[in-house]
Structure 1
Amino acid sequence: MAKPSEQGETGFSLIQLLPNALTITAICAGLSAIRFGVQGNYVLAVQLIIAACVLDGLDGRLARLLGSDSKMGAELDSLADFLNFGVAPPLVLYFWALQDIRSAAWIAVLIFVVCCVMRLARFNVSSKSETCDQDSAYFEGVPAPAGALLVMLPMYVSFAFADAPLLPDLLICLYMFFVGLLLISRIPTWSFKTTRVSRENVKYFLVGVVIAGAALLTYAWATLIALCVGYVGVVAWAWFDSEKPSKG
């Protein structure tokens, strides 16, 4: 953002307001996902949450690129994360398949929501700490957007294999509880923010992006299943690697 004196005199350019506009759009997507979940349009509800994840990945980077990041934008982004990744996904899951065991399912929903808000609070505190390593290649615990995508895995499976029976309600609740624990865990998880691609590998990276994008557009649910399974594998590898005793 511009300096306070400059803001008062010249106001904001439209391009400077774009990151916050993306955040507000993501909030609208999360709220709309809850609405469509209540109405039974679960495919659109999941698509809106995924759209919120994409917007979440863009707004902060765009703000830093434009030099328009601010404390207000950071707080707005955190509130959007709580709604889009902590509230909308478990509620959509609850409306989708957990109506037969409402009390037990609601406990699982509450646990996931609390774990997500604790994850976000911990991240906010650590990001404001003077001792925080902003260039770290790892997060502590699974990030909220990744947790939101992971917790909806049973829905991807159901959408991809329409004739397959639904998973038992209790198993879905236990899975939601497990993903919630991953959010507040101390497991080091890979951060894409600091990943660098060498000049020699840029062309292969771009081809990979095209392939992934085409797969998401053509076989969306199967691709999301593969991405979730792959991410769980990366998290499991990081956990086992962190448990190894140091040689020093």
Structure 2
Amino acid sequence: MKIVKLISVADLFTIVNALLGFTSIICLLRGKIDFAIVFILFAILADGADGFVARRFSKKWCLGDYLDIMADTISFCVAPAILIFTLYYDSFRVFVILSCLIFVASGILRLARFCYLTEKPKAFPKILRNSQSEFLKCQENRKTVFRNMLGKVLCTFPSHLPESKSFVGLPAPGAALVILLFSALKIHPVIITVFTIILSFLMISDIKYPKTRGKIAYISGGIILIITFSMFFSFHPEIILPGALVFAISYAFFSPLSMGKNR
């Protein structure tokens, strides 16, 4: 159970994110569409809390980078794709399956690229150069070798590296949010299929998207809470959901323009 020592407080939110995404898939398999959407919305909040806690307390080890990828793959790639498949498969079978496959593939590529870009350059070559000699010196004690090697790997991804103010490509939670709102509003299958493909290409594009920080992060979190409340209690969804969809689409398609103005 030594892996438990590698888990930070922020990583706990990441694990919750993954569990919420999995619960959403279970709801979809049981035909509980609204509950599935609500659980993915909660997963988006957990993903945001993960980043907030990590920045606030600087307690996110490098294990969290890999947990993020796995959790986001479940909650923001696989679960939304299954949602689209569940709702629209009977209408346009081939196109729905194709759009779901493209979305999942683009999502995992987007997440893998994010992990790759956040790694410290030239860290691995140093490990590779020193690993053979260290292994020979400590060959009699394999536990010591593993502990030393693991420690060096963990140290190559320090949390104090300068953080970029932008994402490369549309973040997976943003793409998932648009799909959730389209699905909640029962948009025509052709429209959601086209948007799914467009969002997929935005995720793997080189377009820079601003990170949600400060007041914008609180506003975004508040909007997601309102959407969740509206879905869960059926509180004027005909008013709240379209407004939230405009907000989500604005971020996906127009927020990169603000990056150009700030240059």
**How far apart are 1:231 and its partner, in Å?**
3.6
Residue 112 of structure 1 is aligned with which of 100, 103, 107? 103
* 2:207 counterpart of 1:187: yes
Aligned residue runs from structure 1 range 18-57, under 5 A: 18-57=9-48
User: 2:156 matched to 1:148?
Assistant: no
Q: Output the amino acid matched with 2:245.
A: C
TM-score norm. by structure 2 comes to: 0.69
**AA aligned opposite 1:20:** D
* Structure-1 residue corresponding to 2:87: 96
Percent identity between the aligned chains? 23
Q: Which has the larger radius of gyration?
A: 2
Question: Aligned-pair distance for 1:170?
Answer: 3.0
Which residue, out of 115, 132, 138, partners 2:166?
A: 138
1:3 match = none
Please report how far the alpha carbon of residue 92 of structure 1 lies from its aligned counterpart in structure 2 after TM superposition. Answer: 1.1
SS, match of residue 164 in structure 2: coil
In structure 2, C-alpha distance between the alignment counterparts of 1:214 and 1:243, rounded to whole Å: 30
Structure 2 residue runs without a partner (length 5+): 123-160
Deviation at 1:146, TM superposition (A): 0.7
* Alpha-carbon distance between aligned partners in 2 of 1:240 and 1:73, rounded to the nearest angstrom: 31
TM-score with structure 1 setting the length: 0.73
Whether the 8 Å CA contact 2:45–2:221 is kept in 1: the answer is no
Distance 1:220 1:189, change over 3 A: farther
Separation (CA, whole Å) in 2 of partners of 1:100 and 1:242:
39
Relative distance call for 1:123 and 1:170 in structure 2 (3 A) is same
Question: Kindly tell me: are residues 138 and 64 of structure 1, through their superposed partners in 2, closer, same or farther at Cα, counting changes over 3 Å?
Answer: closer
CA offsets, 1:117-142, max 9 Å, x none? 111111111111449x8443322221
State the partner residue of 1:63. 54
Tell me what 1:229 maps to.
246
Displacement of 1:69 after TM fit?
A: 1.1
Contact 1:30 1:84 in 2 (8 A): yes
Q: Which has the higher contact order (CA 8 A, sep 6+)?
A: 2
1:121 aligns with 2:112: yes
Which residue of the other structure, out of 147, 161, 172, is the alignment partner of 2:192?
172
Task: Quote the residue 2:132 is aligned against.
Answer: none
More displaced, 45-54 or 170-179? 170-179
Match of 1:78 in 2: 69
| In 1: Cα distance, 2:74 partner to 2:225 partner | 29
- 1:210 CA displacement: 10
Equivalent position SS for 1:68: coil
Q: Give the length in aligned residue pairs.
A: 217
Write the distance in 1 (CA, Å) between the matches of 2:222 and 2:63: 37
- Give the secondary structure class of the aligned counterpart of 1:192: coil
d(CA) in 1 for partners of 2:112, 2:67: 13
CA distance in 1, matches of 2:20, 2:162: 29
Which moved further from structure 2: 217-226 or 17-26? 217-226
Q: Distance in 2 between matches of 1:110 and 1:82?
A: 13
Aligned twin of 2:131: none
Listed as ranges, the matches of 1:8-19 within 5 Å are 17-19=8-10
* TM-superposition CA deviations, 1:22-70 (whole Å, max 9, x none): 2222211111111111211100000000111111111233234334311
